[in-house]
Amino acid sequence: MKNDKPLVGISRCLLGDAVRYDGGSKANQVVLEELSQYFEFIPVCPEVEAGLSVPRPAVQLTGSISKPKVTGRDQPSLDVSDIMQAYCHSKPAQLKLLHGFIFKSRSPSCGLNSTPVFIDGEMVTETGRGVFAKKLCEVYPQLAVIEDTQLENKELLNEFIRAVKIARLKHQQA
Ligand code: SF4
């Protein structure tokens, strides 16, 4: 694939697409007004691509920080762990050309360092990682990554832009 701009994956709701569990979006102004000038975005919504509907029951990470299940927030008997894991296993192979990824914070699928995990109904951490973000970072440890809440921080934003450019250079030289 030949592109003028670096290829950056992004949690699709941040582009303003109505794919969230509640049927809404999370349009991000830094993404839409600033970063869209520099990057070509590849939108990804793990929950929708795994086959979940819009709207859908809210899910959360439960049972373990290192190997959590993905279960219903209001319906604990709902367990979508297997379909999410199957998706997370297969999807990264389609994303090998990416130079970076912008994740939606706090999501059980997309959160980078901000997702709550619950054990026996108690929140045991607020800095967990969503199942898709975790798998993608494991498969591509050199990928430049950031989550939406960090985009407001100019220093972190500039660091991310630099890291994406470096990743792109490395791809070109490979
Ligand atoms: S946070 Fe991720 S899984 Fe949730 S709606 Fe956005 S893109 Fe989809």
Q: What is the pLDDT of residues 59-83, one digit of tens each?
A: 999 999 999 999 999 999 999 999 9
The whole domain housing 136 covers 7-173
Quick one: pLDDT band at residue 3, thresholds 50, 70, 90? low
Residue 155 lies in a domain: yes
Quick one: pLDDT band at residue 50, thresholds 50, 70, 90? very high
pLDDT(2) > 60: no
Residue 154 lies in a domain: yes
Residue 46, ligand 1, Cβ within 6 A: yes
Of 45, 1, 41, the C-alpha closest to 19 is: 45
Residue 104, ligand 1, Cβ within 6 A: yes
Of 11, 26, 25, the C-alpha closest to 108 is: 11
Residue 77 lies in a domain: yes
Residue 99 lies in a domain: yes
Q: Which token pair is 97?
A: 């050309």
Residue 91, ligand 1, Cβ within 6 A: no
Distance 68 CA to ligand 1 centre (A): 17
pLDDT digits (tens, 9 = 90+) for 128-154: 999 999 999 999 999 999 999 999 999
Distance 20 CA to ligand 1 centre (A): 6
Residue 107, ligand 1, Cβ within 6 A: yes
Residue 164 lies in a domain: yes
Residue 71 lies in a domain: yes
Share of the chain above pLDDT 90, in %: 95
pLDDT(174) > 90: no
Q: Where are the alpha helices (DSSP H) in 50-153?
A: 81-90, 131-139
Give the Å distances, CA to CA, from 74 to 7, 57, 60, 88, 125: 37, 8, 9, 24, 19
Distance 25 CA to ligand 1 centre (A): 9
Residue 2 lies in a domain: no
Tell which one of 59, 104, 135 to mutate to probe ligand 1, the residue whose CB is within 8 A of the most ligand atoms. Answer: 104
Residue 62, ligand 1, Cβ within 6 A: no
Residue nearest to atom 5 of ligand 1 (CA): 20
pLDDT digits (tens, 9 = 90+) for 90-127: 999 999 999 999 999 999 999 999 999 999 999 999 99
Residue 1 lies in a domain: no
Q: pTM to 2 decimals?
A: 0.97
Domains of the chain: total: 1
Scan for tokens 């949690």, then name that residue.
11
